[in-house]
Amino acid sequence: MNDLLNNYAHVAGEDVIQHLQQLAAPLEGIRVVHVNSTRIGGGVAEILNKMVPLMSSLGLDVQWEVISGEAEFYQCTKSFHNALQGMPVEVSMPLRKAYEATNEQTAEKHRQLLTEADVVIVHDPQPAALLKFLPGRKGKWIWRCHIDVSRPYRPVWRYLKDFVSGYDGSVFSLVDFTQVLPHPQYLIPPSIDPLSEKNTDLAVGKVRAVLQEFGIDPRRPLIVQVSRFDRFKDPVGVIRAYRLTKRFIPQLQLVLAGGGATDDPEGDAVLNEVREAAGDDPDIHVLLLPADAHVTINALQRAADIVLQKSIREGFGLTVSEAMWKGKPVIGGDTGGIRLQVSNHHTGFLVSTPEGAALRIQYLLRNREKLTQMGEKARNFVRDNFLLTRQVREYLTIILGMLRGTGERMEIS
């Protein structure tokens, strides 16, 4: 077992890694290419940075390429992104032409690699049109959609559907996110990487240093929500839940931590609403953190007694698994992928209102034993279900199915 596999075995369990090795054995040496639109920033790049080395260490020949273009290309793909999530956005003909031209150029640039690969996994809409320009491709092509396309703006979806229909299969994070397509649609929930800066163990001193930096008292109870300043994450509702609780637990502190809002026109407005709602309460800490503040986020989640993700609407909400991996019970909104991660009354609570959140916060802070038990269960739950190793296992299973093509049951000798 190489060093990387050893590291994963240390956190996920040796049996999990042995399982992966056995599953990967018949795939040894096959050429897999991932294609997305960026190497840095965003959830897809984050996961590929970890998944590509892990798949390689299991014996597959894995490469990662990116598509890049001019401003019009990005303008077009940003519109796709919004439209696929339901926003009525018209995408003009010149933008569509820029999109197709960029895909054609990228196809030309990587023609040999992409046509000879055994498996090509294309992430999200940006490179989805590549397939159209590679008619002589040899391998199986998978479209991996990380976006919730359950209620897309139809004209844009119809345009993109023409490109993705030709794939051999697609992968969605949740069944609720799927659309009807003429090929198998696999379901793979996302995962967290236990070895990343955001999730790896931290020394107590480091956690204390972060608390000190923001003037948070380590001796008093702390609740934390980590997410963008977005109305769907209901940060103002979190403040209301905090206030309702504070009447009974006056020592309570709240941290609302989120990344910058440079690409989100509404972000500043929401941040202002949050600051206004927080008022001059010295125990509410509204932290606008840089995108690379992984260690700070890690420390805040570890310092919390309870983590909240009180979203009103949510895609998957991986911050829930991040917190659970740190042994914290999570009080989450009863929506989207949070339902899959928070097992109500076991690893936390699902709530629909600030009042519901306040009730559960009080309950847990007054029942420390229960809080600890839930935290332990939460960590085990993530270990079994939401680590990168599980996601890789499911990719390997799909790849085996596609290459062997033996239907519902594949006997691999």
Q: Which residues of the chain form contacts with other proteins (CB under 8 A)?
A: 15, 18-19, 22-23, 25-26, 172, 175-176, 178, 180, 184-187, 189, 335-336, 340-341, 343, 346-347, 377, 381, 384-386, 393-394, 396-398, 400-401, 407-413
d(CA 349, CA 342): 7
Element (H, E) at 252: none
Shorter beta-carbon distance to other proteins: residue 231 or 393: 393
Nearer to other proteins, 283 or 322 (CB): 322
CB of 399 to other proteins, least distance (A): 10
CA-to-CA dists, residue 256 to 80, 128, 216, 284, angstroms: 30, 36, 12, 8
Q: Which is nearer to other proteins, 99 or 141 (CB)?
A: 141
Smallest gap from Cβ 33 to other proteins, in A, equals 20
Who contacts 176 (Cβ-Cβ below 8 Å, separation ≥6)? 148, 150, 336
Residue closer to other proteins, measured from CB, 130 or 149:
149
Sign of CA dihedral 361, 191, 103, 64: positive
The smaller minimum CB distance to other proteins, of residues 141 and 172, is found at 172
H or E element in which residue 257 lies: strand 253-259
Please tell me the distance from the alpha carbon of residue 398 to that of residue 392, in angstroms, as a whole number.
10
Q: Could you give phi then psi for residue 248, rounded to 5 degrees?
A: -105, -25
Of 259 and 336, the one with the shorter C-beta distance to other proteins is 336
CB of 311: closest distance to other proteins in angstroms? Answer: 12
Tokens of 375: 């935290």
Strands (E), 126-238: 140-145, 169-172, 185-187, 222-226
Distances (CA, A) of 390 to 33, 190, 194, 272: 20, 9, 12, 39
> DSSP alpha helices (H): ranges in 183-293?
204-213, 235-246, 267-278
Question: Minimum Å distance from CB 204 to other proteins?
Answer: 29
Give the nearest distance from C-beta 218 to other proteins in angstroms: 31
Nearer to other proteins, 240 or 383 (CB): 383
How many of the other CB atoms lie within 10 Å of CB of 384?
12
Phi, psi dihedrals of residue 160, rounded to the nearest 5°: -70, -30
Smallest CA-to-CA distance from 324 within 255, 259, 371, 361 is with 371
Please, which residue, 152 or 221, has the CB nearer to other proteins? 152
Q: How far is the CB of 86 from other proteins (least distance, A)?
A: 12
Q: How far is the CB of 266 from other proteins (least distance, A)?
A: 22
Whole-number CA gyration radius for the chain: 22
Residue 187 or residue 286: which is nearer to other proteins going by CB?
187
**Least Å from the CB of residue 346 to other proteins:** 4
Shortest reach from residue 338's CB to other proteins, in Å: 12
Report yes or no: 117 and 140 within 8 Å, Cβ to Cβ. no
**What minimum distance in Å lies between the beta carbon of 411 and other proteins?**
5
Alpha carbons 70 and 332: distance in angstroms, whole number: 40
Reduce the DSSP state of residue 5 to 3 states and report it.
helix
Q: Tell me whether residue 219 or residue 409 sits nearer to other proteins (CB atom).
A: 409
Task: With beta carbons less than 8 A apart as the criterion, state whether 262 and 268 touch.
Answer: no
